[in-house]
Structure 1
Amino acid sequence: MANICVFCGSRTGRGSGYGALASRLGRALAESGHTLVYGGGHVGMMGLLADAALEAGGEVIGVIPENLVNVEAGHGGLTRLEVVTDMLTRKQRMIDLSDAFLTLPGGLGTLDELFEVLTWRQLGLHCKPMLLIDENDYYRPLLDWMKQADGEGFLRGGDLTALILCRSVEDALSALNTPNQG
């Protein structure tokens, strides 16, 4: 099966919905035989995601920069935890390890990771599937902005269609298992 990189928050946000979403995804990826690749933290949505995948018997690879090992409490129970020098190396390593990318709600770091893989796709540096789970319209304002940028001529044809919008974990798994999503 594939290595699926998940970008998500190092916090759980307000309410229990975001954490529950991360747990459902982690469990579903493991039960589908996918290996989870993520930011290596044991806090927030990242920790819930990894814990759920591990509890379901999945393999989990974390990649965390040295300066965040203590801040994000590097997860000690993973299949493998790679400690790298900096954030740039983290993103590069996560991209190299992964066959597809899936984004859950998160903050600036999550958006940085999402836009990194979108930009690399735009530049032709990869053709891996990129999925966005937008279960409760968390990303609606961002998607609206992206449509506006496209309408104003700042994006090329295909830039928006490269990002597969999913409304649920089940939609995301279905999209991951559909051939030619890259």
Structure 2
Amino acid sequence: MHIAVYCGSVSGNQEIYTEKAALFGRWMAEQGHVLIYGGAQGGLMGAVSNAVLENGGKVIGVLPAVESIQKRRHPGLTEYIETKDMAERKAKMIALADAFVALPGGPGTLDEISDVISLARLHLTDAPCVLFDMNGFYQPLKNVLEGMEKAGFAEPEDFEKVLISEDMKEIGAFLSGCQ
């Protein structure tokens, strides 16, 4: 399975984020999944990609032709795809992926996973979306999604392809069950 992983290009302020990103990368490699991500070498992006590579997995980095971003490119990518801008990068990652996982990150991470959740809600993709809830990171977003349902802006079935969890067994089963 090709899994697009969205996450921070920085590590955040808690070591647990880096540790669990590496755990997730190792799990991906052990399961034979291919990592598709933003191609950076630092932060959580670096932790997950390094773990995939160190465990014999394949890593596809998709980066826009922007000098400041290119300077952060991981030197060990299995495959490198250059796009003209961030919009094209986002579209390319969606086109390549069978599933989507968000680890902790900033506004870019939220933008990318929200886009995919919206596509799933509109049945424009059938791919599963996982928010890896390390240390309760995605609980506030879970509350927002539940609030959307409660206020009548979304239906429960709108989020049936979305899982918010930190349990690797549950995440693995969800990804396998949605294929």
TM-score (norm 2): 0.94
The alpha carbon displacement at 1:26 in A equals 0.6
Distance of aligned partners of 1:161 and 1:177 in 2 relative to their CA distance in 1, 3 Å threshold: closer
Distance 2:167 2:46 in 1: 20
Distance 1:174 1:123 in 2: 23
Is 1:53 the counterpart of 2:76 in the alignment? no
In structure 2, the gaps of 5 or more residues are: none
Encode CA deviations 1:99-142: one digit per residue, 9 max, x unaligned: 11111111100000010101111222111111111132111111
The alpha carbon displacement at 1:150 in A equals 1.3
Identical-pair percentage? 38
Q: Which amino acid aligns with 1:121?
A: A
Q: Which moved more, 1:103-112 or 1:128-137?
A: 128-137
What is the aligned length?
Answer: 177
Is 1:69 the counterpart of 2:70 in the alignment? yes
1:1-182 superposed matches below 5 A: 2-67=1-66, 68-70=69-71, 73-178=72-177, 181=178
In structure 1, the gaps of 5 or more residues are: none
Mapped contact 1:103–1:131 kept (Cα < 8 A): yes
Mapped contact 1:135–1:168 kept (Cα < 8 A): no
Distance 2:47 2:18 in 1: 7
Q: Secondary structure at the match of 1:126?
A: coil
Q: Which moved more, 1:46-55 or 1:131-140?
A: 131-140
Encode CA deviations 1:51-84: one digit per residue, 9 max, x unaligned: 11000000010101111212xx111211101111
Distance 1:75 1:43 in 2: 8
Q: Which amino acid aligns with 2:30?
A: E
Q: Secondary structure at the match of 1:102?
A: strand
The structure carrying a bigger helix percent of its residues is: 2
Distance 1:123 1:176 in 2: 19
TM-score (norm 1): 0.92
